Structure 1
Amino acid sequence: MTYEHALYRSEKMVKAILICAALAAASLTGCAGLSADVHTADATNAAAALQGERTYTIARMPSQEAGADQPQFESLLVNELAKQGFVATTAGTARYLLSVAYDTRPATIVVNENGCASGDCRRGPAAPFSLFGGPAYQHALTLRFFERASGHEVYKVSAVSSDRDADPLHAMPTLVKSALARFPFDAPPDWRVKLRADETGGVPTVTSVKPLQP
């Protein structure tokens, strides 16, 4: 490989990385609207398993019992579940135990060397997001429904979104709305939910729910 060819390839790679980083930064700042990716685990028989009485109680982990944001988050979740016909009740009478897990962590977004195309391309370095408005964060929410009597898990759904806000509570309306945009989600297991932000800062509105192409 000649020096000129190596230099041209290096310049092309850097340009591709910067373009991809800029596009990703723009989407994280809201230019592309709100969205979340939703995944369900073996949802083939979930619709049948969730027929009948829809009563539940939230099974909290010890760390959640002391969480300052837990009451506000659970209130949001209870309200959205009520729209699906679920009624919160005591542990002794509930049909389902609902396990809730959520976290927020710094997101490392990686771009491909050849113009950000997917496939078998070699991975380039992580995009320098500090140059485009600060670090990105990934928020994740997982809901798991267990039959209280048997302990059998009947449905599991996860939602993931990214933005530049480190506060997990700010991401919860988007995640909860996305995870429950369809209940239950059927096959395929992966979906993209797009939403429109509420101008008053309330729960966003779902605008589209489409399966992700493999």
Structure 2
Amino acid sequence: MVKSILICAALAAATLSGCTGLNADVHTSIPAAALQGERTYTIARTPSQDASADHPQFEAVLRDELAKHGFADASAQQAHYLLSIAYATRPATVGVDAADCAAGACGRPAEPPFSLFGERAYQHLLTLRFFERANGHEVYKVSAMSSDRDADPLHAMPTLVKSALANFPFGAPADWRVKLRADQAGGVPDVVSVKPVVQ
């Protein structure tokens, strides 16, 4: 009886800690070769993002990761690129029919970690679009999608950002699977592997 209780407790702890690892599906729909200009950008916000209390935290994570890839935040007049950010969190059981979702990921999302308690699964989606400021041409687009048992989009942001920029800029093929390891301090996770998805 005691042994059974200890086993159940260990399984519950493993489930809650997420030690099964993190996965995200990444899709690019515009070739990376088009992203060749000076690596300066400014973020173009929607009115809802301007009004959101969460959005500044999301941008802070994104700016830190972009800096690691040599991108510098600049004024709207000096930036080479305008960066558009779109993200959403929804119950994973709801079907999605959206142009921005990753190919192959819309119908069959990456499975969230196993749960002993049957919590609802949620699907998190991030899309980054780079436009040349001078002419408005879209030159790069990448989407990242993950699933877990947490409805809070803030908790998914580090995983989505790290995945979308894991092999930045992604080249061919268009679809990739990123495996990550959670940061023990609760920060941005570490990338374990980046592999093309075999269709």
Which TM-score bucket, shorter chain as reference?
Answer: 0.7 to 0.9
**Normalized against structure 1, the TM-score is what?**
0.74
In the alignment, what sits opposite 1:175? 160
Cα distance change on mapping 1:163 and 1:130 into 2, 3 Å: closer
The residue aligned with 1:51 is 36
* 3-state secondary structure, aligned to 2:198: coil
Mapped pair 1:68 → 2:53: yes
Report the Cα offset of residue 130 of structure 1. Answer: 9.7
Is 1:90 aligned to 2:75, yes or no? yes
**Matched residue, 2:120:** 135
Counterpart of 1:71 in 2: which secondary structure? helix
1:42 and 2:27 matched: no
SS at structure 1 position matched to 2:66 = helix
SS of match in other structure, 1:41: strand
* AA aligned opposite 2:29: A
Secondary structure at the residue paired with 2:30?
coil
- Counterparts of 1:88 and 1:196 in 2: how far apart (Å)? 28
Change (3 A) 1:131 1:194: closer
1:122 equivalent in structure 2: none
Extract unaligned runs of 5+ from structure 2: 1-13, 96-113
**1:196–1:206: 8 Å Cα contact kept in structure 2?**
yes
Which of 181, 186, 190 does residue 205 from structure 1 map onto? 190
Gaps of 5+ in 1: 1-25, 111-128
Give the CA deviation at 1:27. 8.5
Amino acid across the alignment from 2:186: G
- Spell out, residue by residue over 1:158-191, the C-alpha distance to the aligned partner (whole angstroms, 9 max, x if none): 0000001000000000000000001111111000
Decide whether the 8 Å contact of 2:27 with 2:143 is kept in 1: yes
Partner residue of 1:30?
18
Question: What is aligned with 2:88?
Answer: 103
User: How much is the aligned-residue C-alpha RMSD, in angstroms?
Assistant: 2.2
Which is higher, the Rg of structure 1 or of structure 2? 1
Conserved 8 A contact 2:15-2:115: no
> Which structure carries more helix by proportion?
1
1:195 counterpart = 2:180 = yes
When the two structures are superposed, what TM-score results if normalisation uses the length of structure 2? 0.79
Query: Would you say the 8 A contact 2:127–2:142 is kept in 1?
Result: yes
State the aligned residue count. 168
Contact 1:29 1:163 in 2 (8 A): no
